[in-house]
């Protein structure tokens, strides 16, 4: 079984970094992640900032999140997340402008809290992680294309 893992994968998205980076905030993810409904505990407005706390529920799992590092000028954010019955983790997204779009580097680090967490981590192989992040690229690019004419960022 796997008790700790770290994964990173980069994708290039077809939008300017100023449009793409906000899509990695809790409110921004509601635009392209099906079933993503964060409950904002602090601040209740859902404004992304260092120290924000929110909760998500997927199936029978509840996950608590906190933003530990928020640097919108550098297009970088880091969250800590804990699914109490399974795993503890960090999620970091760093975006930078590249020719024709934005490169997003998405990194996860998970530590299993018990056997259920070890099972979850064991399933998150390098291939499975890359497949997950590449699926993000498809959904984000589709949202960017659909919303290109309005320039809407969803906020």
pLDDT in tens, 108-120: 999 999 999 999 9
How many folded domains does the chain comprise? 1
Q: What percent of the residues of the chain are helix, what percent strand, and what percent coil, each to the nearest 5?
A: 25, 40, 30
Residue 115 placed within a domain: yes
Structure-token pair, residue 30: 């509601």
User: What is the C-alpha to C-alpha distance for residues 119 and 141, in angstroms, rounded to an integer?
Assistant: 31
Region class of 35: left (phi > 0), else alpha (psi between -120 and 50), else beta? left
pTM of the model: 0.92
Residue 46 placed within a domain: no
Residue 60 placed within a domain: no
Residue 31 placed within a domain: yes
**pLDDT higher at 1 or 33:** 33
The CATH number for 119's domain is 3.30.530.20
Q: Residue 54 CB: number of other CB atoms within 10 A?
A: 22
Residue 129 placed within a domain: yes
Confidence of residue 2 (pLDDT cuts 50, 70, 90): confident
Q: Which domain holds residue 140?
A: 4-37+70-146
């Amino acid at each position: 079984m796997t008790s700790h893992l770290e994964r990173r994968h980069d994708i290039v998205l077809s939008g300017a970094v100023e449009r793409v980076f906000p899509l990695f905030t809790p409110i921004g993810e509601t635009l392209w992640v099906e079933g993503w409904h964060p409950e904002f505990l602090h601040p209740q407005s859902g404004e992304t900032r260092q120290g924000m706390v929110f909760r998500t529920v997927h199936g029978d799992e509840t996950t608590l999140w906190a933003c530990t590092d928020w640097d919108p000028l550098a297009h970088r954010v880091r969250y800590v997340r804990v699914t109490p019955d399974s795993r503890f983790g960090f999620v970091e997204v760093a975006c930078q402008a590249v020719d024709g779009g934005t490169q997003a580097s998405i990194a996860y680090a998970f530590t299993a809290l018990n056997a259920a967490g070890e099972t979850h981590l064991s399933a998150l192989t390098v291939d499975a992680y890359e497949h997950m992040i590449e699926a993000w690229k498809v959904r984000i690019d589709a949202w960017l294309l659909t919303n290109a004419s309005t320039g809407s960022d969803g906020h």
